[in-house]
Amino acid sequence: MQKNLAHSLQLIAQQGPDAFYKGKIADEIAAEMAQHGGLIGKADLAAYRAVERKPVSGSYRGYEVFSMPPPSSGGIHIVQILNILENFDLAKWGFGSADAMQVMAEAEKYAYADRSEYLGDPDFVKVPQQTLTSKAYAKTLAQQIDVNKARPSADIKPGKLAPYESNQTTHFSVVDKEWQRGGGDLHAEHLLWQRCGGR
């Protein structure tokens, strides 16, 4: 039993958030940090404010999935792993089968490799959440999984992420009086122009 945790939860239930951020629990955290060269002091705890963020979402075999957003890596991982697993017939193999466990372990390796490269606190780093949680990206990872052979984690590198295509993309075509044609894709950031040729 975790008596310290139980005591902390009782204090929070009785005194509210101040028990953690300004009260006895804050005193104990600050003392422990100071004793071991930590960076967090009681003033840091008192000044902390929770940041509300939109949850990570996805779907798995018709079910909606919602989880923690960054800076937690868990939500992106869950959606990414489930997206990879959707590419395999786990039901056919059966719960707990060697093949199902192999695919699950490999899917997790790919998610953790991406975590090391792409995840962090969105207040400080750009997190490519839409790409990491996309079905298309998961399919590219699933294609690298061999059901019959485990790859060492050290051999699995973070994926090469294609830039996310903006929802603000539009295409246009231009034809002059001599029937010379051209077209392009217009993005908020840049313009791609493609000459299509003559008549």
What tens digit of pLDDT does each residue of 55-80 get? 999 999 999 999 999 999 999 999 99
Architecture field, domain 56-155: Orthogonal Bundle (1.10)
Angle at the Cα of 121 from the Cα atoms of 115 and 124, rounded to 5 degrees: 120
CA dist 150 and 9 (Å) reads 42
**Ordered mean pLDDT values, 10 residues apiece, the chain (199 residues):** 89 94 94 95 94 95 95 94 97 95 96 93 93 96 95 89 54 57 47 44
Note the pLDDT of residue 196.
45
Helices (H) and strands (E) in the chain, counts: 9, 5
pLDDT given for residue 1 in this prediction: 72
Residue boundaries of the structural domains of the chain: 3-47, 56-155, 165-199
The whole-number pLDDT of residue 151 equals 92
Among 131, 133, 169, 170, the active-site one is 169
Choose among 169, 166, 141, 138: nearest CA to 156.
141
Q: Model's pTM, two decimal places?
A: 0.69
Residue 149's pLDDT is 93
pLDDT reported for residue 193: 42
Tell me if residue 170 is catalytic: no
Query: Burial of 146 by CB count in 10 Å (0-12 exposed, 13-18 middle, 19+ buried)?
Result: exposed
What phi and psi, each to the nearest 5 degrees, are found at residue 176? -95, 180
